Amino acid sequence: MLRGMVCDASDADLIAEHQIWAAVDPNAKNEAFNCSNGDVFKWKHLWNVLAEQFEIENYGIEEEGDKRWSLAEMMKDMGPIWDEIVKEKQLFPTRLEEVANWWLLDVVFQLEVSHLDTMNKSKEHGFVGFRNSKKSLAASCLNKQYLEWL
């Protein structure tokens, strides 16, 4: 699973910035654009970012070899543990099933090919925004204020 596969991501704030640019900049008129952070990563480098954010030391995901794992399977009985985390960290009350579509993540993580887009056309038309995916994941998506806002 994810054997050496590189991925890209799209930060929500960058997408908003890109959409505003595309709507008001004359260079973007009547054009269609991809939008991604502009970097690539391997999930094996980001698992630690997630683990640190949630103060987890041993998260039990191994990417090496042909070992297949399923987030849907791993998360099926974790509702009560999530409820404890929500209470302890004073997060906005949510059920674990509302946090992610585990089956969809399984599909994404089991892809055997990389899927990347390019921001070249946007850059050629004048958009220069980008995000660092690692920092974006740690700061934008998983911080306590964001989860409370949800």
Residues 6+ apart with CB under 8 A from 105: 71, 72
How far, in Å, CA of 112 to CA of 110, rounded? Answer: 6
Name the pTM for this structure: 0.71
Q: Are residues 134 and 89 in the same domain?
A: no
Most confident of 37-46, 75-84, 86-95: 75-84
Q: Are residues 57 and 125 in the same domain?
A: yes
How far, in Å, CA of 147 to CA of 145, rounded? Answer: 6
Give the range of the structural domain holding residue 31, as residue numbers without chain letter.
Answer: 1-68+115-150
Domain count, the chain: 2
Q: Are residues 59 and 104 in the same domain?
A: no
Q: Are residues 144 and 120 in the same domain?
A: yes
Residue 149: the pLDDT is 47
Q: How large is the average pLDDT for residues 22-41?
A: 95
Q: Are residues 61 and 74 in the same domain?
A: no
Q: Are residues 63 and 129 in the same domain?
A: yes
Q: Are residues 60 and 86 in the same domain?
A: no
